[in-house]
Structures are given as C-alpha cells and as structure tokens.
Amino acid sequence: MSFIDTLRSRWQEYRRPGYYENFDYAWTMTIDLDSCTGCGACVTACQAENNIPLVGEEELARGREMHWIRIERYWEGEFPNAKLNFIPMLCQHCDAAPCETVCPVSATYHNQDGLNAQVYNRCVGTRSCAVYCPYEVRYFNYYNHEWPSPLDQQLNPDVTVREKGVMEKCTFCIQRIRQAKDAAKDDGRRRVLDGEVQPACVQTCASQAMVFGNRNDSQSEVFKSMNDPRAYHVLEEVNTAPSVVYLKKVEVNG
C-alpha cells in the first residue's frame, strides 16, 4: 500500500510541468529602456567578467561575434526625423526554454535557481539550441580563441575558458551568485539578501537601467520593478516565460 502511494506521489512529482514546485531563487533582471543610453558598458563588462573572446574584425564581418549581451539598435523613421531605439539583448533565462528541450545530451538545463544553465563540458556542439532560441543569444565557439599576451593575464579565474565546438551564453554571472550563496551560508543565513549579488552588466550600468534580484522575494527591488505598468517580455507570443523583463520606453511627445 505504502509502496503504491510512494509510486503515485513520485509519479505526480515527475509529471509536474517544469518539475520545480518553486525555485529556491528565481533570478530576474529588469531593464528600463527609458534609462538605457545604449552606451555599451554592459557589453564590455560582460566581456571582461566572463572571459569572452575578442573575435577580431575578420570574424566579426563573417557574423561570428561573441558577446553574451548585445545592444540591439533599431532605427525608426527617415533621416531628418530618425529616432534610435536601444534594447540590450541577453539570455532571457526562460522558464519554458526551447533551447533546453532540444539538447540531446542535457548540456543545457534548468537549475533550481531558475537559471538556464549551460554545461560546457557536456556540450557536443549540435548548435540546435542556438536555432531553437528565438532571441539569438547563444554563441558558438567556431574555433579555439586566443588571448594575446598580456590579455591572458586578465582572464577571470572563476570562469571557464571555452574550447572550440562549444556553445556558450549569458549565465547571469553564475559565479557571482555562487559566491553570494556561499557567503550567505557562511554567515548562517538561508537566503542571499537583495542587492548582495549583481551580474557584471548590472554593476556597470551607469544609468542604473538594470535591476537584478530574486523575484520570489516580494520585498526585493526587482519585484517592484517588474510589476511596473511598463513591464513587458520580448517575444511574449512565443511563450517562453522569460526571466528578463523590459520596461517600455515612454514617449513624451510622440
């Protein structure tokens, strides 16, 4: 009898969509497009923090740029009245991520922090995740990148240097999240406090357009920010349930 009950409860557990009843943390980022100036500091910060290679002019021309966060530029209108809109685009850490289901070797999966994790060691390089990603934020190592001296001296020891044939993408600076969690544990706290952890891009943003935090915590800044009336998801119609929330730019005089 108890065996059957165990079996039934296990079955129900494994049949639950998304598996996690609720995440320990649900890391979320909001980006206020009203404040974003499109300066590109976040791109540089990310490049430095996460050992992202500089591909060089030639490879860039071939469309093999590598940056986990990019500033998308959209022009509106014709020349005299042209307007420029920016939108920083990074991995949206979707809760229903198309990229996760397609990986045949489980190299990308959802962890209990609600992050879309990428295991470089496990990746075989089918590149299907990049095809399945509607946001185009997965970047592939087309060859082994080199850091000419003295650039190799500034590689971040907390982050792997990826080899050729491996897919990589924004991790929400998982190494910083880990450190914050470890520190919280050392202090005997159960949870990381709001504002204790910031990815490199958020830390760098001069106009403080980006807010990062745990949306499970209703006192957190990010929770307030994502409940702003201007909040929206990019490509909401694809139903990916992203963890990055954008705040719409407000036009004053149209």
Can you tell me which of 144, 160, 207, 219 binds another protein, judged by CB under 8 A? 144
- Is 249 a binder of another protein (CB under 8 A)? no
Does residue 103 belong to the site contacting another protein (CB under 8 A)? yes
Number of residues that bind another protein (CB under 8 A): 64
Write the burial class of residue 135 (CB in 10 Å: 0-12 exposed, 13-18 middle, 19+ buried).
Answer: buried
From the list 33-41, 55-63, 187-195, 199-207, the region that binds another protein by CB under 8 A is 55-63
Nearest to 42 by CA among 249, 248, 207, 228: 207
| The pairing of beta strand 70-76 with beta strand 108-110 | unpaired
Q: Contacting another protein (CB under 8 A), which of 6, 8, 9, 11? A: 11
CB of 254 vs another protein, minimal distance in Å: 22
Q: Are strands 139-140 and 231-232 parallel, antiparallel or unpaired?
A: unpaired
x-or-dash string of contact with another protein, 61-100, rule CB under 8 A: -xxxx----x-xxx--------------x----xxxxxxx
Separation in Å, CA 136 to CA 7, 68, 90, 179? 41, 10, 9, 29
- The C-alpha atoms of residue 48 and residue 16 are separated, in whole angstroms, by 39
Contacts with another protein in 227-246 (CB under 8 A)? 234-235, 238, 240-241
Instruction: Rule CB under 8 A: say whether 105 interacts with another protein.
Output: yes
Helix residue ranges per DSSP H, the chain = 2-14, 41-49, 57-61, 98-102, 128-132, 174-186, 200-204, 221-226
Please report, as ranges, the residues that interact with another protein according to CB under 8 A: 10-11, 13-20, 59, 62-65, 70, 72-74, 89, 94-106, 108-110, 122-128, 130-132, 134-136, 139-144, 164-167, 234-235, 238, 240-241
